[in-house]
């Protein structure tokens, strides 16, 4: 897919059966593997609402009809993601995890960021964060270990990953249309890197602590995941990080849309 192609961004009304049958360690019966994803789950709803506001704040400056249509699809997809991830919080609470203090703090952080940061910088943050979610999404879809996840959670992850790839260029293209500054793009990307890593890791650590897993055991579990993975996730993230610094970078230079949509049928959805 070339940079100029405006792919359709459909809003799928997915509703997942989160219930008591989802185990605490739903990803291969592995606490570390599960809580890495749970840590991301905790920041998705408010994070995605932040992204939508950042893009919609610039809608009146976008003249291209096809990009305006993509913005609508982007907002719809992100809204559905936020809704389903928030529904999953009820499952976490039912499993005994105390998550509301963390969620409250992150909500205050995103609200303050929305209030204090310039609109153009919030858009640059969004473009950078969307690059990470698409990079992680592509890696996850191609990772055979996704089959180790509980079926409901596997569908949540795959659906979210597919749609992150479908709309991965929207915020970037809006930023390029309204303020193509390279320094702004990179500044937002670095800010997004720090925030995403810090909050997701904080959520992961919180959940592991609540499981009563000692620090040394957590480190051992992480090393074991790295060995099993052979460092593939780390390499994918580093590769994506480096690519973003190219002055001629565009998200669609990685043509993974067909790959992503090929997974739709596996989770009972259609293109």
Q: Which whole-number Å values give the CA distances from 63 to 118, 125, 146, in the listed order?
A: 21, 22, 40
pLDDT of residue 112: 98
The yes-or-no verdict on residue 236 having pLDDT over 60 is yes
Residue percentage of the chain with pLDDT more than 90: 88
CA distance 242 to 253: 14
* Residue 96 placed within a domain: yes
Residue 149: strand, helix, or coil: strand
CA distance 34 to 24: 8
* Residue 119 placed within a domain: yes
What is the distance of C-alpha 33 from the center of its chain?
16
* Residue 11 placed within a domain: no
* Residue 5 placed within a domain: no
213: Cβ contacts below 8 Å, ≥ 6 apart? 31, 221
* Residue 19 placed within a domain: no
CA distance 157 to 14: 12
The yes-or-no verdict on residue 179 having pLDDT over 80 is yes
CA distance 20 to 209: 22
* Residue 14 placed within a domain: no
The model's pTM:
0.95
Question: Which region among 20-24, 111-115, 170-174 has the lowest average model confidence (pLDDT)?
Answer: 20-24
Mean per-residue pLDDT, 143-155: 94
* Residue 1 placed within a domain: no
The yes-or-no verdict on residue 39 having pLDDT over 60 is yes
Residue-range definition of the domain harbouring residue 113: 31-267
Buried-state track 38-59, b at ≥16 Cβ within 10 A, e below 16: bbbbbbbbbbbbbbbbbbebbe
Mean per-residue pLDDT, 26-39: 96
Neighbours of 195 (CB within 10 A): 20
Q: How confident is the model at residue 197 (pLDDT cuts 50, 70, 90)?
A: very high
pLDDT of residue 4: 60
* Residue 154 placed within a domain: yes
Q: What is the helix, strand, coil percentage profile of the chain, to 5?
A: 75, 0, 25
> Model confidence over 119-138: pLDDT tens digits?
999 999 999 999 999 999 99
The yes-or-no verdict on residue 237 having pLDDT over 70 is yes
How does the average pLDDT of the chain come out, rounded?
95
Residue percentage of the chain with pLDDT more than 70: 98
The yes-or-no verdict on residue 2 having pLDDT over 60 is no
The yes-or-no verdict on residue 148 having pLDDT over 90 is yes
Residue 83: strand, helix, or coil: helix
Total count of domains within the chain: 1
* Token representation of residue 181: 């500054």
* Token representation of residue 39: 């840590």
């Amino acid at each position: 897919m070339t940079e100029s192609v405006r792919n359709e961004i459909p809003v799928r009304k997915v509703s997942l059966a989160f219930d008591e049958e989802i185990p605490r360690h739903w990803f291969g019966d592995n606490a570390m593997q599960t809580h890495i994803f749970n840590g991301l789950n905790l920041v998705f709803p408010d994070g995605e609402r932040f992204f939508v506001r950042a893009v919609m704040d610039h809608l009146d400056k976008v003249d291209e009809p096809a990009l305006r249509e993509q913005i609508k699809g982007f907002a719809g997809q992100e809204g559905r993601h936020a809704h389903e991830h928030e529904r999953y919080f009820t499952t976490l609470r039912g499993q005994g995890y105390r998550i509301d203090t963390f969620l409250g703090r992150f909500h205050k952080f995103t609200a303050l960021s929305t209030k204090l940061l310039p609109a153009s910088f919030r858009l640059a943050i969004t473009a950078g964060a969307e690059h990470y979610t698409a990079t992680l999404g592509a890696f996850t879809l191609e990772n055979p270990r996704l089959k180790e996840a509980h079926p409901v959670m596997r569908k949540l992850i795959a659906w979210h990953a597919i749609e992150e790839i479908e709309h991965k260029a929207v915020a970037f293209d809006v930023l390029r249309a309204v303020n193509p500054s390279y320094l702004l793009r990179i500044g937002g990307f670095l800010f997004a890197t720090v925030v995403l890593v810090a909050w997701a890791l904080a959520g992961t650590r919180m959940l592991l602590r609540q499981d009563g897993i000692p620090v040394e055991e957590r480190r051992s579990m992480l090393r074991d995941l790295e060995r099993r993975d052979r460092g593939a996730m780390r390499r994918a993230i580093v590769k994506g990080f480096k690519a973003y610094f190219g002055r001629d970078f565009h998200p669609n230079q990685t043509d993974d849309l067909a790959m992503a949509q090929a997974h739709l049928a596996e989770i009972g959805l259609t293109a």
